[in-house]
Amino acid sequence: MEMELLYFGQLTDITGCSTQRLQHVADTDSLRMLVYAQYPGLQQVKFMIAINNKLVSGNQPIPADARVAFMPPFSGG
Amino acid sequence: MMKQEMNYERYQRQLILKGFGATAQHKLQAARVLVIGAGGLGCPIMQYLVAAGVGHIGIADHDMVSVSNLHRQILFGLEDVGQPKVEVVKRKMGSLNNECNIETWQEKWTQQHAVNHFPAYDVLVDATDNFASRYLINDACVLMGKPLVFGAVSQFEGQVAVFNQLEEDGSRSVNYRDLFPEPPAGGEVLNCAEAGVLGVLPGIIGSMQATEVIKLLTGIGTPLVNKLWNYNALTQDVFSFQLEANPDAKARIPATLAGFLNTDYEWLCGVPGAAIKEIDAVAWVRDHGNHLLVDVREPHELPRLTSLCKQMGISLMEIPLSVLEDQLDTISASQVVFVCQAGRRSLQASSLFLKQNSAGSVCSLKGGVQTLVASNYLQYE
C-alpha cells in the first residue's frame, strides 16, 4: 500500500521534487518524522498538511492510498 | 452617496450576463473596497474592480515605482519610475473609469490605519508582499468582522482564498490563522525579490482576487470560502484545499482592538534584532576586515562568490540555509558575515548562528548578491 506526497512552493527547493510515492504510514506525525529524516531542511519551515485535499491539524490518521499535500505559506505579492 | 445614473453602454457586456443585470451593477456601484498593496497583485485587482464599476476603492502603498517592478506590474510604465505607486494608480484609474472614486494612502499600513479605516469598507483585499502585513490585515478583519480576499505568490505558484466571510448561521468562515496559526520565522519564506516570480503570475492571482471581490459584492457564484485555491503556472495544475477551523488559531489573534494595536507584527514576523548587524554589501566589499563570508544560498544560485572572495583575500564557506543548522559548528571565525541572494536568508542564518553563539555578534549583507551584481562587483556567468 502506497501514498502520494505533494510538495508545494519553496518546499520543492528542499525536497528537489514536487511529488513522491511512499509506503503508507499510519498518521501525520509519523509521516512528518519520515520526511524530516529524508529532508532535514523541512524541519526549519512551516507548512500545512492536507489529506485528500482537506486541511488537517494535530496528528491525524492517514487513510490507505491517500494523497498528502505539504503547503507552505507564500508571502509574495 | 447619491445613486448615480447607470452607464449602460460601459457595463453592457456584464449587464447582459445571466444572474448579473442591473441589480448586481448597482451593488458594485454602491460598494466600498480597500486594496492594500499596489504591486503585482494590487495593479490587476485595481484595474478589474475599477473597470467593473466598483463605486469606491481605497488603495494603500508607501512605495515608489521602480524599474524592477515593470516585468510584472504592467499598469506602470518607464515614465512612472520614481513616482508614488498610489498616485500613478489613481491617475490611470481615472482615465479607465471616471465613475469610480479612488482614495489613496501613500503610507505604510499600520494597525492604526486598519482600526481607523476598515469599518468604512465592505471588503478588504490583501495584495501585500510580506507576512507582517498579511497577519496584521487578517487579524484586523477577524476583530472587525470584515471579509478578506487573500492572494499570495511564490516563484511559479499562487494562492487565493476568501477569509472571514459571514456564513448563513452568523459565524465567520476560516481565516489565515486557521491555515497558518503562526507567522514563519524571518527569512524562512523567500519573497519575490529573493526567490523570483514569473511576471504573469501575479496578474493571474490578482485577477482571481478581483473575481472573488466581485462575487462577494454581487452575490453571484460561490466564493472561495473555507477553501484555499492553489495554482501552479509551470504545470497549470490547480488544487483546491478544503479548510476548517484550527483549534490553535483563535488564541493567536489578539482578543481586543487594544491588544491588536499593541501587537508588534514586524517583530512576530522576524524583522531582525540588535545583535545582527545589517551592513551594506557594496560598502563591505570596498572596506572589509578579516572576515569569514558564509554564502547560505543553494548551490544552483548564481553568480557564485568564489572569485570575488579570492580577489578580496578572504575566506568563503558555502553552506545552504537548508543544512546550516547541522553545520554551524564548522564555522569558526571571530567575525562572520552571512550572505544570500537578496539579504533575507542571510538574516535567518544570522539568527540561527546567534542561537549557538549567544555572546557573539554577526553581520548580514544587506541586499545580498543582487546588490553586488547591480554595482558591477559580480557578473552573471
- Identify which of B40, B179, B183 has the shortest CB distance to residue A55: B179
Give mean pLDDT, residues B164-183.
96
Domain boundaries, chain B: 8-268, 276-374
Give mean pLDDT, residues B251-263.
91
d(CA A46, CA A26): 22
Give mean pLDDT, residues B147-170.
97
Q: What is the pLDDT of residue B325?
A: 83
| Interface ipTM > 0.90 | yes
For the segment A25-53, what is each residue's pLDDT rounded down to a tens digit?
A: 999 999 999 999 999 999 889 999 999 99
Question: Does pLDDT of B212 surpass 70?
Answer: yes
B244 vs A74: CB contact, 8 Å cut-off?
Answer: no
Q: What is the pLDDT of residue A68?
A: 98
Residue A77, number of CB atoms within 10 A of its CB: 27
Q: Which of B63-77, B117-131, B161-175, B326-340 has the lowest mean pLDDT?
A: B326-340
**Contact between residue A61 and residue A26 where contact means Cβ atoms under 8 Å apart:** yes
Question: Does pLDDT of B225 surpass 60?
Answer: yes
Share of chain B above pLDDT 90, in %: 70
Positions of B marked catalytic: 192, 340
For residue A56, give the H/E element and its range: strand A54-56
Question: Which one is the CATH code of B8-268: 1.10.3470.10, 3.40.50.720, 3.30.43.10, 2.60.40.10?
Answer: 3.40.50.720
Q: What is the pLDDT of residue B267?
A: 75
Q: Which of A45-59, B59-73, B244-258 has the lowest mean pLDDT?
A: B244-258
In a domain, A77, yes or no: no
> What single-letter amino acid sits at B35?
V
Give mean pLDDT, residues B186-193.
74
d(CA B159, CA B240): 10
Question: Does pLDDT of B2 surpass 50?
Answer: no
Give the domain extent around A55. 2-71
B325 touches chain A (CB under 8 A): yes
Q: What is the CATH number of the domain that holds A12?
A: 3.10.20.30
**Contact between residue B29 and residue B7 where contact means Cβ atoms under 8 Å apart:** no
Report in angstroms the alpha-carbon separations of B257 from B108, B111, B118, B141, B269: 19, 9, 12, 11, 19
Contacts of B297 in chain A (CB under 8 A): none
- Identify which of A40, A45, A50 has the shortest CB distance to residue B184: A45
In a domain, A76, yes or no: no
Structural domains in chain A (count): 1
A55 vs B228: CB contact, 8 Å cut-off?
Answer: yes
Strands A48-51, A67-71: parallel, antiparallel or unpaired by DSSP? antiparallel
Q: Which CATH architecture has domain B276-374?
A: 3-Layer(aba) Sandwich (3.40)
Contacts of A6 in chain B (CB under 8 A): 239
Cell of B166: 459571514
**Contact between residue B107 and residue B60 where contact means Cβ atoms under 8 Å apart:** yes
B322 vs A13: CB contact, 8 Å cut-off?
Answer: yes
Residue, of B353 and B273, whose pLDDT is higher: B353
DSSP B73-136: -TT--GGGTTSBHHHHHHHHHHHH-TTSEEEEE-S---HHHHHHHGGG-SEEEE--SSHHHHHH
**Model confidence band, residue B287 (pLDDT cutoffs 50, 70, 90):** confident
A74 vs B188: CB contact, 8 Å cut-off?
Answer: no
